[in-house]
């Protein structure tokens, strides 16, 4: 092993939660040469500090993969490191900083708008911690490509603005289905406690904010591939083949067969409970929300998210 890790190529999965980002990461993670890391944005608090389970079901601190990555990247994980990265995140990795970061991407300098005077140094330090983590993870896994499914557009902006070569996969899903998912009462599989719920109006605003931010990232010259959740489930082989080719890998999709996929264990540090799934999963379009969600909610979401919803090919009545 050399002292300077080979730079990993970073695939960042972005989109609003409940849009299929975890499923996309799990499927892409089965392609040879790709290692899925989960939602790295939550690794510092939930993995390093709270010692929550890795996708292999070992506590983060006991997982051999993450232990090696920590040693390789930082000489070991520490509370001090996690607190420092979380403090940097609080200062630079914010949705409200996106306009400043977007200007930086086009003009090479940050725009006005509340950017702290130490902002560039903090952004560099924050991105460098991620760079070290990605490179070490790629090297430990023996994979040239790492996936970070952190979802939030602001982290993708931070990475791109700091010069990290990142390919963003922008996952979109019909906002009416996303709103239904956020509105349902669902218990967390880990502890039975209720999961966070949002009103349809609130989900609509978050859906617009995340998707418009990822659209802006593409307009600022970052490589962005948009995937519709409905296409991933309706035609998984075609959708993944196109995506894998865009990322620059040979599309070896042996794990797909008979309308499903075979998932192997993955060391994903944080994220949706689906990250623990091992074995065969079915891939069938989920249209249950059309009858389960109230017509009033569906019309409200369509009205609030139009015209972006229509741009993505989702049709619905506004009234």
Closer CB to Zn ion, 63 or 224, in the complex: 63
Closer CB to Zn ion, 67 or 83, in the complex: 67
Considering the complex, what minimum distance in angstroms separates the CB of residue 278 from Zn ion? 12
Closer CB to Zn ion, 178 or 269, in the complex: 269
Both tokens assigned to 266: 């993955």
DSSP annotation string for 230-262: HHHHHSHHHHHHHHHHHHTS----TTEETTEEE
Closer CB to Zn ion, 105 or 274, in the complex: 274
The dihedrals phi and psi of 18, each to the nearest 5 degrees, come to 70, 20
Considering the complex, what minimum distance in angstroms separates the CB of residue 57 from Zn ion? 8
For helices 200-219 and 153-161, angle between their N-to-C axes, nearest 10 degrees: 20
Closer CB to Zn ion, 173 or 267, in the complex: 267
Closer CB to Zn ion, 54 or 166, in the complex: 54
Closer CB to Zn ion, 213 or 270, in the complex: 270
Task: List contacts with Zn ion (CB under 5 A).
Answer: 54, 56, 63, 65, 267
Considering the complex, what minimum distance in angstroms separates the CB of residue 49 from Zn ion? 17
Considering the complex, what minimum distance in angstroms separates the CB of residue 210 from Zn ion? 28
In whole angstroms, what is the distance from residue 130 CA to residue 157 CA?
A: 13
Considering the complex, what minimum distance in angstroms separates the CB of residue 33 from Zn ion? 19
Considering the complex, what minimum distance in angstroms separates the CB of residue 64 from Zn ion? 7
148-to-117, 143, 166, 279 alpha-carbon distances in Å: 29, 14, 10, 22
Considering the complex, what minimum distance in angstroms separates the CB of residue 56 from Zn ion? 3
Considering the complex, what minimum distance in angstroms separates the CB of residue 250 from Zn ion? 26
Closer CB to Zn ion, 65 or 255, in the complex: 65
In whole angstroms, what is the distance from residue 137 CA to residue 283 CA?
A: 29
């Amino acid at each position: 092993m050399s002292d300077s890790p080979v730079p990993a190529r970073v695939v960042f999965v972005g989109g609003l939660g409940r849009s299929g980002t975890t499923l996309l990461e799990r499927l892409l993670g089965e392609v040879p040469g790709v290692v899925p890391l989960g939602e790295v944005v939550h690794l510092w608090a939930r993995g390093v500090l709270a010692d929550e389970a890795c996708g292999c079901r070992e506590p983060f601190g006991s997982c051999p993969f993450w232990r090696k990555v920590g040693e390789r990247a930082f000489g070991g994980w520490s509370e001090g490191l996690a607190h420092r990265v979380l403090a940097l995140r609080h200062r630079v990795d914010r949705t409200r900083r996106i306009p400043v970061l977007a200007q930086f991407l086009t003009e090479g300098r940050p725009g006005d708008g509340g950017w702290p005077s130490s902002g560039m140094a903090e952004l560099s330090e924050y991105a460098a911690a991620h760079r070290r983590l990605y490179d070490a993870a790629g090297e430990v896994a023996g994979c040239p490509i790492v996936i970070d499914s952190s979802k939030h557009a602001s982290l993708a902006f931070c990475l791109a603005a700091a010069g990290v070569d990142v390919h963003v996969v922008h996952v979109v899903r019909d906002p009416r289905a996303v709103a239904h998912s956020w509105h349902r009462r669902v218990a967390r599989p880990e502890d039975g406690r209720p999961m966070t719920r949002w009103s349809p109006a609130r989900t609509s605003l978050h859906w617009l904010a995340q998707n418009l931010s990822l659209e802006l990232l593409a307009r600022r010259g970052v490589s962005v591939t948009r995937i519709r959740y409905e296409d991933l489930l309706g035609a998984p082989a075609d959708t993944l083949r196109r995506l894998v080719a865009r990322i620059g890998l040979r599309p070896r999709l042996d794990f797909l067969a008979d309308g499903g996929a075979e998932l192997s264990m993955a060391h994903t540090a944080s994220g949706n409970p689906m990250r623990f799934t091992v074995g065969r999963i079915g891939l069938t379009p989920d249209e249950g929300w059309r009858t389960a969600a109230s017509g009033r909610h569906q019309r409200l979401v369509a009205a609030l998210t139009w015209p972006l919803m229509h741009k993505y090919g989702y049709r619905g009545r506004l009234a």
